Amino acid sequence: MNEYNYNFEEVGGGYYNSEENPSPKKPKKNTALKVVASLMAMTLVSAGSIGVYRTVTEGRNADTATESSHISAENEEAAVNKEVSDVEKETSAAEILSTLQIEENDGKVLTTEEVVQKVMPSVVGIKSEFEMQQQNNYNYGNGFGGFGSFGDIFGFGGSGDGYGYGYGDGSQIQQENPIGTGTGVIFSEDGYIVTNAHVIYDSQNGLGLASEIEVLVNDNTYTAGVVGYDIDCDLAVLKIAAEGLVAAEFGDSDKLNLGEDVTAIGNPLGLDLMNTVTKGIVSGLNRNITINDKSMSLIQTDTAINSGNSGGPLINKYGQVIGINSSKMSSSGLGEASVEGICFAIPSNKVSDVVEDFMTYGYVKGKPQLGISCRDVTEDIAEMYGMPVGVYVIEVTEGSAAEKAGLKKSDIITAVDGVKVKTAEELTAQKNLHTAGDEIELTFMRNGEEMTIKLTLDEVTVPVE
């Protein structure tokens, strides 16, 4: 079985849309033989990329067309706010978090078998269904153009399907429903589940939030509602209508040591291999990793993690979840050295903080935003157009911190608080050193003149996509 890693992005560079005001996303074309310049790239490890890729490519050759509406912002918002009324919220955030024990079993070290026996009942499978429309154009020569449902090879048509007129030229809208799979961890007995955001939200193909999410617990399947999700920290909380579940025990990730034994449980390459157990060690701590222009501080491990393991637990020797598996390093092009055993997990302490915010506010509290969309001005572009190297402002959101401070479209940001920034990634990193409500100083160029402004950062109060 070959491993598919279609969710990788080249590390650094290129176009960038700020998380505060992303431009409309277009589905990206997947190319299996794409060669990327960098030696290695980070890849998210949800098997959703497999299902999406296969459906997108196979869908292009499908003969059957169905009519459906485009995914709208209203539909996406409805999905985000999916009635958790179907799955009643009976427990407060404080009560749930109080169940996330962080004591180390009185110091008792468990065998691998004991670790698995303890945590396996708390690991679930997640299946996410997305909606996608694509238009297939066709040209059958000089046939008289169509009313619809028959005589396609002649370019005619029958009645009612409405593919349009056009002397043999035409198009058809085809509805696809790509399926992605991942892993989740039960953290409360009444059905709250944590997973990765990219398990339920597709950025690679521009499909956005899943239209339907199912959670497989033992032999039972539940429809899940979305309590909250955040692409920046790659975490999501789901809710199912279930009681008496076995909640995982969460440990203190700050107490991890290099070389410490860890175990992972997940669903690599889909639900056919559900509850696969792998083992390794802690290879690194506090690794500052950038994935798809998002910077995170992660635990590094050599525990085998593959597509579909996303959202699953990384477990310490006490049988406690000390991380949520999310990504791995992979080779990024043909003819390059293979990369194995460099995998990453989100620390459990970070997970607990984010879960509390999701449960209380529905979003991650205190996240700062400028309110701009931007792109890099590289040295080549700067030399070509006589511009300074920095971050070019494409758009300023109305009513945002940036607009209130006087930042304008076409300004080129060159420094934050006196620290030079050459890329949107560096700008984001400097911004993320602060919290909402903090004041920062931006240095920028406008019409050849260097200027500075002071800006009070806004708070991100919607899911970051």
234 catalytic? Reply is: yes
Distance CA 392, CA 387 (A): 10
* Active-site residue, 380 included: no
Contact 142, 167 (CB under 8 A): yes
Options 152, 202, 234, 293, the catalytic residue: 234
Q: Is 252 a catalytic residue?
A: no
Contact 239, 253 (CB under 8 A): no
**Of 18, 198, 326, 332, which residue is the catalytic one?**
198
Which residue is catalytic, options 307, 310, 352, 373?
Answer: 310
Active site residues: 198, 234, 310
